[in-house]
Structure 1
Amino acid sequence: MKFISWNVNGFRALQRKMDVYSWLVETGADALCIQETKMHRDQVQFETPGYFQYWNEAVRKGYSGTAIFTKNEPINVTYGMGIEAHDQEGRLITLEYDNYYLITVYTPNAKRDLTRLDYRLEWGAAFTNYIQQLDRIKPVIFCGDLNVAHQEIDLTYPRNNSGNSGFTQEEREDFSALLSNGFIDTYRALYPDRTGAYSWWSFQFNARQRNIGWRIDYFVTSQCLKEYIIDAKILWDVVGSDHCPVELKLAE
């Protein structure tokens, strides 16, 4: 099975840059999970023969939002965590299959001045609890923009960014706590020492060309799926957003 995740930084903007459906077909992915759609479903024409579509939109137009395009129809679809305070921004879709859950997630940003850090941590704790409950039923695969560089190896300038949004001690510990509850950062499980592996770059200072970036997009799985992981990739050469897609291959 092949899954791809991508923060597209505006789905309509991405459509102006590339033929999204043709690219999806070309990848051969079983599912494409996207974040930051920045739209409501009725604002776009997008046909995907061979793929089912599921969208979760924010109450506020032009903000946040997630979607999944999948070849395999799920047995159940859940939007959000079932917590009203956390379900207003379209940040979560869960597809249930016979043997696993597939989740796309767009974790809230703490904001540059950290004014949303407290909310970000509340949301993170609720999300960890949510996936723990699912994991008790069947394995979980979740992916998306988690808005945190977990370790110093996951960004170019860790010392300069210490305490900044996305690299605060609190956010990093939140992700550590999630992993310690029985989950795997699939990329680091395979490539624990690989440097220069980033999925987001600022639009400024030719950061992408110079590979001055952050790894904040992840595929995370339940620990029990570790033996099924074939590969995890960062598709750095796919352009169209300030993020690039990330990919996970699992044995069936």
Structure 2
Amino acid sequence: MPRPPLPPQPRPGAGAAPGRRPTLSYRKPQLGRDYWVKDDILPDAAAVARRCFDKADWELGAPHRAEPWPGMRSAAALTAGELAPVEAWVKQVTGAKRLWQQATPEGSTLNHNYVQLVGGIESGPRPHTDSLKLCRYAAVIYLSPDPLPAAGTSFYRLRYPDGALGGNFCSPPHANLREALGVTSLPPQAWSEDVRVDNRFNRMLLYRANLVHSASGYFGCEHEDKRMTAVFFWMA
């Protein structure tokens, strides 16, 4: 698939030149500043994984239905008691005083505290940012007991048709990539993987939601060997 042309990138933080679509600024994702990792986040992750695998109320996404998210998902991944220490850690490492779920004036929300199950043939990496209107931080907890380590989470930056590398995060006034780049989507070859965090059972990855990110990959064919994660979105 040919790559659509993208405009030259201005220096980080600069605005777009007149008549050109804005591009993204860049800074290398840094552990402890832009993303945080906590291993063994849940005291009884095996019980949580078993409960999530046994759920019956799954919603189907792509490729089964015309949805922007892949695989299948179900609400209430963690109980309130399980979620409380997770949020305490998020506040500790980010310095946030309060966390909450945001809604747009139209009522749109993100699917906070959902479990997502995606097989190897159901999807591939889909670099994106989460809307700044709805969250500041996002997170996953890897819940597959025997994961493919390379199928963790990656952070990406733009790659131009001439091979030059561009930016990796959205900033106001743009809430997401669609607003920042003026396109609804870009092909996979328009992105270059910058940093990858491996998939490890009971590892939590927390990151700034405006960084371009995606699952690095998926795995498994049967229900209980697919890539399973709990996903979270917080305004702070």
TM-score of the pair, normalised by structure 2: 0.23
Q: Which has the higher contact order (CA 8 A, sep 6+)?
A: 2
TM-score of the pair, normalised by structure 1: 0.22
Question: Which one has a bigger Cα radius of gyration?
Answer: 2
More strand by share: 1
More helix by share: 1
